[in-house]
């Protein structure tokens, strides 16, 4: 049994195996209807709980569809409607759910909730986003980059904006998949230095470059995300917007990246804040492939978790 808690907590060879499995499972579907079963049904007779303590469109639908394509069944649970949201401990919730289901995916606030769920569950637990990281997203992003441009190893990935949970998982991935990473944002919104130091210790270059034009030079992949994450107080919105405006990914900034650079955004986006519609809908953008690839990447993650 394997938990999928973070990219840095998973062996690089296992991560590579999941990406390759996702590629071949995606190819094997070969344009069939979304509701059609896969040829193989590794989750047949399996029940999966999908717990959401925060809103979601992509994570919720892609996990649900992925389980069903692999022959399993799902239940989508809102944290607020569970006893978990009314004082029952995470440990007890984990032990009880483990009696009913074969796999748990949870989207929550504190990382500690995820870790406790994994500690007390006797079934695999998958991180569907915490305030700190979003590993499933970056598995989909690696898959997307490699489908379009081949191996991501040695490439230059530039993150423009807030040093948030999605950036943190990119930093984890830089160390595990061997690509260079640049963070370009205001010092007030820097990521935790620990993420950067950990990646550097694995031999990749991770730099902080305040000037977005300088950061962008030579980029193979440009990534941004919302300026106000779900866990950020709305009261910080105006201040964040003022600080982050110079880091908006627009056509003028994108022009400094390599000609064949890709643009990614995990979505949901606030169009014309962190990125303009011209970029999001432009020739570099692969944002909807990224969204689709949540499905394929997570199917591979679930198979790995269940050893199937």
Which residues make up the interface to ligand NVA (CB under 6 A)? 129, 164-166, 225-226, 229-230, 266
Q: What is the largest CA-CA distance in the chain?
A: 55
Q: By CB under 6 A, which span of 114-122, 154-162, 182-190, 264-272 interacts with ligand CP?
A: 264-272
226 binds, options ligand NVA, ligand CP, none, Cβ within 5 to 8 A by partner type: ligand NVA
Q: Does 303 bind ligand CP (CB under 6 A)?
A: no
Question: Which residue of 58, 68, 132, 172 would you call a contact of ligand CP, by CB under 6 A?
Answer: 58
73 is catalytic: no
Q: Give the active site residue among 6, 64, 180, 225.
A: 225
Is 229 labeled as ligand-binding? yes
Q: Does 82 bind ligand CP (CB under 6 A)?
A: no
Q: Which residues touch 278 (CB under 8 Å, ≥6 apart)?
A: 250, 251
Q: Which long-range contacts (CB under 8 A, 24 or more apart) does 15-18 make?
A: 15/139, 15/176, 15/177, 16/177, 17/304, 18/139, 18/297, 18/300, 18/301, 18/304
Distance between CA atoms of residues 52 and 92, nearest Å: 17
Q: Give the active site residue among 3, 68, 132, 134.
A: 134
Q: What is the DSSP letter of 31?
A: T
183 - beta bridge partners? Answer: 159, 208
Task: List the structure tokens of 221.
Answer: 């992949």
Tell me: cis bond preceding 234? Omega within 30 of 0 counts. no
Q: Give the active site residue among 3, 294, 296, 303.
A: 294
137 is catalytic: yes
Question: Which residue of 8, 93, 137, 298 would you call a contact of ligand CP, by CB under 6 A?
Answer: 137
Q: Which residue is nearest to ligand NVA (CB)?
A: 229
Q: What is the DSSP letter of 41?
A: -
Q: Does 266 bind ligand CP (CB under 6 A)?
A: yes
Q: Give the active site residue among 64, 266, 296, 303.
A: 266
Closest to ligand NVA by CB, 226 or 285: 226
Query: By CB under 6 A, what part of segment 106-135 binds ligand CP?
Result: 129
Task: List the structure tokens of 162.
Answer: 């807030």
57 binds, options ligand NVA, ligand CP, none, Cβ within 5 to 8 A by partner type: ligand CP
Q: Does 288 bind ligand CP (CB under 6 A)?
A: no
Backbone torsion region of residue 214, taken as left when φ is above 0, otherwise alpha when ψ lies between -120 and 50, otherwise beta: alpha
Q: Does 267 bind ligand CP (CB under 6 A)?
A: yes
Distance between CA atoms of residues 66 and 43, nearest Å: 10
305 is catalytic: no
Cα angle 192, 195, 200 (rounded to 5 degrees) comes to 130
Q: Does 56 bind ligand CP (CB under 6 A)?
A: yes
Interface positions with ligand CP (CB under 6 A)? 56-59, 129, 137, 266-268
Known catalytic residues are 107, 134, 137, 225, 266, 294
């Amino acid at each position: 049994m394997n938990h999928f808690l973070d990219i840095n907590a998973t062996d690089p060879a296992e991560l590579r195996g999941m990406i390759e499995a996702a590629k071949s499972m995606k190819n094997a579907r070969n344009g069939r209807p979304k509701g059609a079963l896969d040829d193989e049904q590794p989750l047949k007779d399996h029940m999966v709980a999908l717990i959401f303590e925060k809103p979601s469109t992509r994570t919720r639908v892609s996990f649900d569809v992925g389980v069903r394509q692999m022959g399993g069944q799902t239940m989508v649970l809102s944290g607020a409607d569970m006893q978990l949201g009314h004082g029952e401990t995470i440990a007890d919730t984990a032990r009880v759910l483990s009696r009913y289901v074969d796999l748990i995916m949870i989207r929550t606030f504190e990382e500690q909730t995820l870790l406790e769920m994994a500690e007390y569950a006797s079934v695999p637990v998958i991180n569907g986003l915490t305030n700190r990281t979003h590993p499933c997203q970056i598995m989909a992003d690696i898959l997307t980059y490699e489908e379009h441009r081949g191996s991501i190893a040695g490439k230059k990935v530039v993150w423009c904006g807030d040093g948030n949970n999605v950036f943190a998982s990119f930093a984890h991935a830089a160390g595990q998949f061997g690509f260079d990473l640049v963070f370009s944002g205001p010092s007030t919104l820097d990521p935790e230095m620990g993420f950067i130091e950990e990646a550097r210790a694995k031999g990749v270059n991770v730099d902080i470059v305040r000037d977005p034009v300088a950061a962008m030079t030579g980029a193979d992949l440009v990534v941004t995300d919302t300026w106000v994450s779900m866990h950020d107080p709305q009261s910080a919105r105006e201040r964040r917007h003022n600080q982050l405006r110079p880091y908006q990914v627009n056509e003028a900034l994108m022009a400094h990246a390599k000609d064949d650079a890709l643009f990614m955004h995990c979505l949901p986006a606030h169009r014309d804040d962190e990125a303009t519609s011209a970029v999001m809908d432009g020739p570099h953008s692969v944002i909807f492939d990224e969204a689709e690839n949540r499905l394929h990447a997570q199917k591979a993650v679930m198979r790995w978790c269940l050893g199937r």
